Amino acid sequence: MFEKYLEELGLTDKEAALYLTLLSVDHSSVLDLAKKTKIKRPTVYVTLESLAKKGLVSETQVGKKAHYQAEPPERLETYVENKRIALEEQGKRLKDIIPQMRSMERASGERPVVKYFEGRGGIMSSYEDFFTNAEPGGTAYMVYPRDLVDEIFTENERKKYRELRQTKKINNKVIYTYNKGELASDETSERMRVDPDEYPILCDIGIYGDEVRISVVRKALSAIFIKSPDVADTLKTIFRLAFENLSRKNKSQK
């Protein structure tokens, strides 16, 4: 029971076995430890050194021989606390390292990364990934059928992803269909409505940075995530051509 718990704290099976064995005696030699635990002597030496670095074992001299003794179980609290502090520091460093690693990925990766998400939950996961991993600032390009999106997602769910985008200070340009009428543009969104009969839109598409999210929202709910600068830039170009044409058309009709 104790051995399994020590492993859950981060000790190896051999570290746990040696520590508990030493805890049951005043001190012990490497030879005796090897006999009691059935661990090979060279491995015992290495494992004892690891336990010593963790502050759980110390060396003592008995006659002319080196023996080892376990530190009190209270030292486990110190060990766990040190691990917690180390993890917090690693977490802080990770926030600086991740953007650097992502830039390496973009620079070196020519092959597109493609992920597939299934069902309503999968579409929500693709939304989450799309905005959570996005770098702040910039413009997202979106094409969607508002009627179908309203059928699948609640107002609170749509609000969640809208606020996630706004928190990242990401503006968006939108081409959409909506049988109920036009949606007003605001400070963070510029929207263009098209006639659903003349230009049917059946997928929810998002493009930002080098990422593309395509959600099938009518039948067989699913989503595809593509990470590729070439694919994203090409779709942005197509979007801008359509958006600028719609803008000119709207101005000419006024």
pLDDT in tens, 42-87: 999 999 999 999 889 998 888 888 899 999 999 889 988 888 888 8
Domain assignment of residue 80, yes or no:
no
The total number of structural domains that make up the chain: 2
Question: What's the sign of the alpha-carbon dihedral 105, 110, 111, 114?
Answer: positive
Sign of the torsion angle spanned by Cα atoms 6, 9, 13, 17: negative
Residue 232 and residue 127 share a domain:
yes
8, part of any domain: yes
Q: What is the pTM of this model?
A: 0.56
Residue 128: pLDDT band (50, 70, 90) is: confident
pLDDT level of residue 160 (50, 70, 90 thresholds)? confident
Domain that holds residue 29: 2-73
Residue 121 lies in a domain: yes
Please tell me the predicted confidence (pLDDT) of residue 102: 66
146 and 245 share one domain: yes
Same domain, 210 and 125: yes
Confidence (pLDDT) at 173: 94
Per-residue model confidence as pLDDT tens digits over 193-252: 999 999 999 999 999 988 999 999 988 899 999 989 999 999 999 999 999 999 888 777
Q: Assess if residue 28 is contained within a domain.
A: yes
Looking at the structure, do residues 144 and 211 belong to the same domain, yes or no?
yes
| Same domain, yes or no: 116 and 170 | yes
Amino acid 110: pLDDT: 64
Beta strand pairing call for 171-177 and 189-193: parallel
Last residue of a domain, one of 44, 73, 102: 73
Cβ-contact 177, 110 below 8 angstroms: no
The CATH number of the domain holding residue 20 is 1.10.10.10
Same domain, yes or no, for 118 and 240?
yes
- 27 is written with which tokens? 């001190």
One domain for residues 154 and 35: no
Beta bridge partners of 61: 66
Do residues 228 and 181 both lie within one domain?
Answer: yes
Residue 154: count other Cβ atoms within 10 Å of its Cβ.
9
Q: What is the pLDDT of residue 131?
A: 76
**Which CATH number belongs to the domain containing residue 136 in this structure?**
3.30.870.10
- Give Cβ neighbours of residue 44 (< 8 Å, ≥ 6 apart): 18, 30, 33, 34, 37
Whether the pLDDT of residue 174 is over 90: the answer is yes
- Whether residue 98 is contained in a domain is answered as no
Helix (H) or strand (E) holding 116: strand 113-118
> Are 36 and 148 found together in one domain?
no
Cβ-in-10-Å burial (0-12, 13-18, 19+) of 183 comes to middle
Q: 12-20 long-range CB contacts below 8 Å, 24 or more apart?
A: 12/47, 12/50, 14/39, 14/43, 14/47, 15/47, 15/50, 15/51, 15/54, 15/56, 18/44, 18/47, 18/48, 18/51, 18/57, 19/51, 19/56, 19/57, 19/70
Q: Are residues 119 and 213 in the same domain?
A: yes
Are 32 and 140 in a shared domain? no
Does the residue 51 lie in any domain?
Answer: yes
- Tell me whether residue 82 is in a domain: no
Last-in-domain residue among 50, 73, 96: 73
> In this structure, are 244 and 174 located in the same domain?
yes
Q: Is residue 57 part of a domain?
A: yes
